[in-house]
A = this chain, B = another copy of it.
Amino acid sequence: MQANSEFTQQASQYMMQAIALATENVTSGRGGPFGTVVVKDGKVIATGVNLVTASNDPTAHAEVMAIRNACQSLATFQLEGCDVYTSCEPCPMCLAAIYWSRCRAIYYGNTAADAAKVGFDDSFLYDEVKKPLSERRIPIVQMLPDEAWVSFAAWRDAATKVVY
């Protein structure tokens, strides 16, 4: 953890905006205490808050919503050169979403351990993702691998495709 003085005033403002979104999401009754801001070239291009219960979507975490909104805003599926300011360390879903989106850097406030203290599964999920498949809480089993490979062969052999 770096001391706050090491961050620019602008970076602190982005993080304070993410935190304010998180707090407002709770006080408004909309959802969980999570807010995210996506910044490109010194401008906030998108924000997101946790809408899991408000929208009946367990994937609607603040980071995922902010990435979706940023991509819609820029009409792209990749966010090169974008920085993510998020009020809590991304859970494994959101961390991987940030990787898939090709964002440049992640700044976070609360830790996954902090999230566990107020009832969220983030730390548990990091433990699960690290485990061999056979030891995970949700059973995960392979079937029909030869049949499934047909899909990948189709992709490999496709004459035209948009790689991502």
Q: Which of B26, B52, B96 is within 8 Å of A92, CB to CB?
A: B96
The residue of chain B having its C-beta at the shortest distance from the C-beta of A148 within the complex is: B109
How many chain A residues touch the partner (CB < 8 A)?
94
Q: Which residues of B contact A53 (CB under 8 A)?
A: 77, 162, 164
Contact A140 B106 (CB under 8 A): yes
Say how many copies of this protein the assembly contains.
2
CB contact under 8 A between A77 and B92, given known A33-B154, A141-B2, A142-B1: no
| Interchain residue pairs A-B with the least CB separation, the first 10 | A109-B148, A93-B96, A22-B151, A33-B155, A33-B151, A92-B96, A53-B162, A106-B140, A58-B100, A58-B101
Q: Which residues of B contact A156 (CB under 8 A)?
A: 118
- Distance in Å: Cβ of A126 to nearest Cβ of chain B: 7
Q: Which chain A residues numbered 110 to 164 have a C-beta less than 8 Å away from chain B?
A: 110-111, 114-115, 117-119, 121, 125-126, 128-130, 137-145, 147-152, 154-156, 158, 160-164
Asked whether, in the complex, the Cβ of A19 is within 8 Å of the Cβ of B92, the reply is no
Contacts of A22 in B (CB 8 A): 148, 151
Asked whether, in the complex, the Cβ of B93 is within 8 Å of the Cβ of A77, the reply is no
> Would you call B57 and A106 a contact (CB within 8 A)?
no
Is A97 among interface residues, defined by CB-CB distance under 8 A?
yes
CB distance from A105 to the nearest CB of B (A): 5
Q: Tell me the A64-107 residues at the B interface (CB within 8 Å).
A: 64, 67-68, 71-72, 75-79, 87-89, 91-107
Contacts of A34 in B (CB 8 A): 151
